[in-house]
Amino acid sequence: MLAFVVRRLVLLVVALVVASLLVFALLRLLPGDLAAVIAGPQAPPERVEAIREQLGLDRPLVEQYLEWMGGVLQGDFGTSVVSGTSVASEMRAKLAITGPLVIASTVVSMLVAIPIGVWAAVRRQRPDGVAVNALSQVGIAMPSFLVGLALIVVFAVRLGWFPPNGFPRQGWDEPGRAVRSLVLPVLTLALAQGAVLVRFVRSATLDVLQQDFMRTARATGLTFRRAFVRHGIRNASVPIISILGVQIASLLAGVVVIERVFALPGIGQMLVGDIGDRDLEKVQGTVLLLTVIVLVIGFVVDVLARLIDPRLRDATT
């Protein structure tokens, strides 16, 4: 197991280096001159050249990359060319909104979808099991922004229970208002994520229920519930953990839509605005941070799968 973790850590480091190279290179292939954009359309060439020199854009790309990565390794993602503030501080402020949003929606979807998915598998031939299966398909097909708008109309506009959009200016210094502003976005993401998770939990549970070890456990006198708790849950959890890792990673990419629907000033909203402003330092810092999070999630999922399933733990790869 230790050898596996070490190998995965080495692969993680290699993947992070390759990702940083790709982020750095691809952003510099974008059309347009960043210095000219900052200087403005009427700026003289001398002004454009001075900005280019100030930003270090006149230096070799290798030197620019090494300087950028040296700062990143020290927690310095550079300075925004638009606002003049630290990129790291701005990302921390935005992650204080996006992070709880993603984590809370994942927890809610797990608490609801896992028992419902197991229920749908156990009662797959009964009306309630068929209904759950059908509703999960509808949930997958529904666009998340449409679900968000429906929740706003019902719970914010008509009932007035929650604010329709926005986030308090004081942030988490006003915890009550902050939590209330995230309830509807969390429910929106949890419904979309939960519908997918129900399908995977149902499929994984059905696969376990048809295995020989479950029939053997029942033949030894165990009730269905005890047999499933003792032997079924661990075997079904490996594919569920894997799909959870994929869903969390996809949430980081798809949260942009929900943040726009609910006017949340999160990391997704910031990234969209920075791309429009050609704020190269913030864009490459934000994209790299999201890439690191996704790669780390993949690493954690691999390790958890090995810990849960002895067959994977004994594998050589």
Chain segment 232-267, per-residue pLDDT in tens: 777 777 777 878 887 787 777 778 888 888 888 888
Per-residue pLDDT, 41: 66
Checking if the pLDDT of 70 tops 70, the result is yes
Pick the more confident residue, 43 or 187: 187
Checking if the pLDDT of 315 tops 60, the result is no
Q: CATH for 96-313?
A: 1.10.3720.10
Checking if the pLDDT of 313 tops 60, the result is no
In this prediction, residues 78-97 reach a mean pLDDT of: 82
Distances (CA, A) of 110 to 6, 85, 200: 30, 38, 12
Structure-token pair, residue 259: 């943040």
Pick the more confident residue, 188 or 256: 188
pLDDT over 70 for what percent of the chain?
A: 90
Per-residue pLDDT, 166: 80
Checking if the pLDDT of 276 tops 80, the result is no
The set of long-range contacts for 243-250, using a CB threshold of 8 Å and a minimum separation of 24, is 243/196, 243/197, 243/200, 244/106, 244/110, 244/197, 244/301, 245/297, 245/298, 245/300, 245/301, 247/106, 247/109, 247/193, 247/196, 247/197, 248/102, 248/106, 248/297, 249/293, 249/294, 249/297, 249/298
